[in-house]
Amino acid sequence: MTTKQSRQITAGGSNGLQRFRHFASNNGVLIAFIVLVIGLSLATPYFLTTANLLSILVQSAPFVIMAIGELVVVLVAGIDLSVGAMAGLSGAVAAALMASLGLPWLLALLCALLASCCVGALQGVIINYLRVTDFIATLAGLSIVSSLTLIITQGNPISITADWFNAIGQARWLNVPVQVWIALGVVCGAWIWLAKTASGQHIYAVGGNRVAAYRSGIAVRRLRTTAYAISGLCSGVAGIIFAAQLSSADPNAGRGDELTAIAAVVIGGVSLFGGRGKVSSAVIGALLIATILDALVLLNVPPYYTQLVQGFVILLAVMLDYLKRRDHSV
């Protein structure tokens, strides 16, 4: 073997290693998800059953939708701590309008979604036009919206008897739960918007460099306000699914789910600094969390370890995001 051939083989191996490192760096969460699935398949025979896989999809569907809304906010370098509370509000509004005013289920559903969207838009206005920090504004929103939900329900579940409404969380189409189809529709819509439209690309520009985006003619404040409105709308859709699953509006529905939505985004590899992240990242993050929660049940782990596991996973994801940014900046 000549020296030239030896150098070519070495260079080829080096390039192959670099390509693998690049793939692993950009798809770490996908690799972790695949490893988790393989490990659980070996650990318990019940994991890869059709019933269990459908259970994971059903469990993750509303969280995927909330994660999409949170993703849009994080892409513009924001944070929304009220997504769980707005999900609870949406279900309560729909149930109250049907039970108290006798509105048709579809009209009540639309009013509930409009309410959650308006709450999100109002938070966006407070953040972007009144200059209140997003953490404080959405934390206050969480408290206010949670209280409104308790006021509407009077602290008691409101029964929902509309069959078509309940079908959203209980029926199947082509043997797949309707809520999974809804989540798929939201995911596809978000991907088309962010990847194929000018306004979607502006979302990334605003998150990447707000000053540069403003100087290039992008309506930064209006776009960031729209992001919070979309987050509210997605939370409303998730809240409708929660209510339809139970055939009632629980006053505590959505409480604490903001942690899951944020965790899905962070674990998926979306940068908390804005401007970097994909729809698929949020989806895989939500599926990963649902799979971990399912694994805890299958392995008979006590339920009070759930948030402990989520907290460690979030911390690990944030640390990896920081290290990745530091490596790119060097």
* 7 occurs within a structural domain: no
Give ∠ CA 23-26-30 in degrees, rounded to 5: 90
Task: Indicate whether 215 belongs to any domain.
Answer: yes
Confidence (pTM): 0.86
pLDDT, block means (10 residues), the chain with 330 residues: 55 58 59 77 80 86 93 92 92 92 92 95 94 92 93 90 91 90 95 91 89 88 94 94 91 84 83 82 86 82 75 70 58
Query: 327 is written with which tokens?
Result: 């490596």
Q: How confident is the model at residue 18, as a pLDDT?
A: 63
- Spatial separation of the C-alpha atoms in residues 145 and 151, rounded to whole Å: 10
Tell me the C-alpha distance between 249 and 228, whole Å.
24
Question: For position 262, what pLDDT does the model report?
Answer: 86
> What is the model's pLDDT at position 23?
53
**Residue 270: burial class (beta carbons within 10 Å; 0-12, 13-18, 19+):** buried
- 96 belongs to a structural domain: yes
List strand residue ranges (DSSP E) for 113-254, in order. Answer: 158-159, 172-173, 176-177, 248-249
In a domain, 23, yes or no: no
DSSP symbol at 156? S
Distance CA 224, CA 270 (A): 17
Helices and strands (H, E) in the chain, number of each type: 14, 4
pLDDT of residue 59: 87
Residue 34 lies in a domain: no
Residue 301 φ then ψ, to 5°: -80, 135
Instruction: Give the Cα separation of 168 and 164 in Å (integer).
Output: 7
Neighbouring-strand partners of residue 158? 249
**Under 8 Å between Cβ of 208 and 199:** no
pLDDT at 25: 55
What is the total count of domains within the chain? 1
Domain of 214 in residue numbering reads as 43-323
Res 1: pLDDT: 55
